Amino acid sequence: MPRAGTILATLALMGLSLPATAQSIGHITLASTTSTENSGLFGAIIPAFTEATGIEVRVVAVGTGQAFEIARRGDADSLLVHDTEGEARFVAEGHGSERADVMYNDFVIVGPVGDPAGIAEADDVNEVFARIGAAEAPFTSRGDDSGTHRAEQRLWEAAGVVTASPWYRELGSGMGATLNTAAAMDAYVFTDRATWVAFRNRQDLTLLFEGDEALFNQYGSVRISPDRHPHLKHDLAAQWHEWLLSEAGQRAIADFRVNGGQLFFPNSQPNVDDAP
């Protein structure tokens, strides 16, 4: 029977003979959104990145506002969220060193099959929100300063609807929990398409409105400033950022599907310095 020392030595030699990409070289912490996590995207693409680089990615999935705060404190090595204005401000304030488009999908408005506010007949998203407000139909909102919540608030404002009313429920919860509450209440809800497609507890809910340009939902990757937070793993985070924008990363995003449907659409732009 071989000695334990012999086995360990053999395993060590086997480890040395493995290609570098198969060996773990560390991990990064990624602050991101519940929509990317709950949809299953990270479970599909992170293993490909780890296999290629040896870098593990540990995701902290919260609302976009919380993700920004985590990054501002220096508690995340990288940021992937969906609030382009907020991302640009984050970089302008010196918290981030670079921001790039990665992918997009869209928001949709979901509600009870009976559609008491008649939003399925609306011509545009402003009319959707105006009809819900006029009908004082139950509406559940994440209310958590996420990218989805921020987008929803802009649409209420554009429609001229005041939401400080009993029919409007701010939950302070993630998208999945908000959809569950909407299903229990037969309420309208504003959601990203990816979470809706992956959501199973639909009960009487159905997709009622989609396709307006205002419902476009862009995701961006942001590198954290090494000057502001020198203790972070900037070299490893840079590899994650560049991989997301690379052909391999963009293909992995495009290949991710739920029930045969593509949930995220890659749209990174090549660096002009690298373009032919």
Residue ranges making up the domain that contains 152: 109-215
Same structural domain, 76 and 153: no
Same structural domain, 261 and 195: no
Residue that the structure tokens 């680089």 belong to = 53
Of residues 272 and 149, which shows the higher confidence score? 149
Of residues 19 and 199, which shows the higher confidence score? 199
Same structural domain, 158 and 233: no
Decide if pLDDT at 66 tops 50: yes
Decide if pLDDT at 105 tops 70: yes
Q: How many domains does the chain have?
A: 2
Structure confidence by residue, pLDDT tens digits, 108-138: 999 999 999 999 999 999 999 999 999 999 9
For residue 43, being part of any structural domain is answered with yes
Q: Evaluate the CA torsion angle 92, 96, 102, 107 in order and state its sign.
A: negative
Helix pair 41-53, 234-245: axis angle to 10 deg:
120
Mean pLDDT of 46-52: 97
3-state secondary structure of 117: coil
Structure confidence by residue, pLDDT tens digits, 170-210: 999 989 999 999 999 999 999 999 889 889 999 999 999 99
Can you say how many angstroms the Cα of residue 186 is from the centroid of all Cα atoms in its chain?
A: 26
The CATH number of residue 176's host domain is: 3.40.190.10
Phi, psi of 232 (to 5 degrees): -75, 165
For residue 53, being part of any structural domain is answered with yes
pTM reported for the whole predicted model: 0.80
What proportions of the chain, in percent to the nearest 5, are helix, strand and coil?
45, 25, 30
Same structural domain, 36 and 119: no
For residue 5, being part of any structural domain is answered with no
Among 172, 191, 215, residue at a domain's last position? 215
pLDDT tier for residue 17 given thresholds of 50, 70 and 90: very low
Same structural domain, 64 and 194: no
Give the β-pairing of 26-33 and 168-170: unpaired
For residue 272, being part of any structural domain is answered with no
